[in-house]
Amino acid sequence: MLETLPLPGETAADPLAAQLLEVARGDRDAFERLYRLASPRLFAICIRVLSDRAEAEDVLQDVFATIWHKADQFDPGRAGAMAWMSMIARNRAIDRLRSPGHAVRRTAVELGDELPDSGASPVDEAEASDERERLQHCLQKLDDRRRGLIRTAFFEGATYEELASRSGAPLGSVKSWIRRGLLQLRACLET
C-alpha cells in the first residue's frame, strides 16, 4: 500500500490532514488509515463525555460517518485535522448526552492521560504531555468553583442552566464564573 504524498501547501508533519484530504476525494483506503490513526483519541473524547463504553462506541461510529460525509469541509489552514475531528466527536457525544430518553450519569470526570495513540511519534507525545501539564497547571490556578464548573461544562456538556441548578447559584453568576475562568485559563496558557 502506497502512502499518500502531501499536496502543495500540505506538510508531512500532519499525516492526519493528508489522510483527511484524501478522504474528501473519496479514498476509502485513506479513510481506513485515518480511522486507525485517529480512533483511539476520538473514542477517548466520546467516553469522557458519555461515561459509557457502549454509547461511546455508537457515537464513534456516527463520528466517522460524519467525517466521511463532511471531509470536504476540512480546511487545514483553519484547524489541525485532530482538532477538527475532535470537535465533531465532542459535539456528537454531547448531542447523545442531551438526546431525549438518555439516562445521564452525573459522575465527575477528571482530566486524565489520553488513550495511547499508536500513530503518534515520540516528539508528538512529548509536546502533548507538555500541553497537558500546562493545562493542568493553569487549571490548578483557578479556584475550585470555576475549575469544577469548566470541567463539568466541557466533559459532561452541561448547560449553564444545568450548572446553575446543580450548584444552587444564580444563572448570571455561573455564566460570569465560567467566563472569568476561561479568560484566566487563556491568559495563563498564552504566557
The pLDDT tens digits of the residues spanning 92-136 come to: 999 998 887 665 444 444 444 444 445 555 666 667 677 878 888
Closest by CA to 17, choosing from 32, 29, 6, is 6
| Angle (deg, nearest 10), helices 144-156 and 171-190 | 90
Q: Is the pLDDT of residue 42 over 80?
A: yes
What pLDDT, on the 0 to 100 scale, is given for residue 107?
A: 41
Query: Are 178 and 150 in contact, with CB atoms under 8 Å apart?
Result: yes
What average pLDDT does range 18-35 have in this prediction?
Answer: 92
Question: Exposed, middle or buried by CB within 10 Å (0-12, 13-18, 19+), for 151?
Answer: middle
1 Cβ neighbours under 8 A, 6+ residues apart: 29
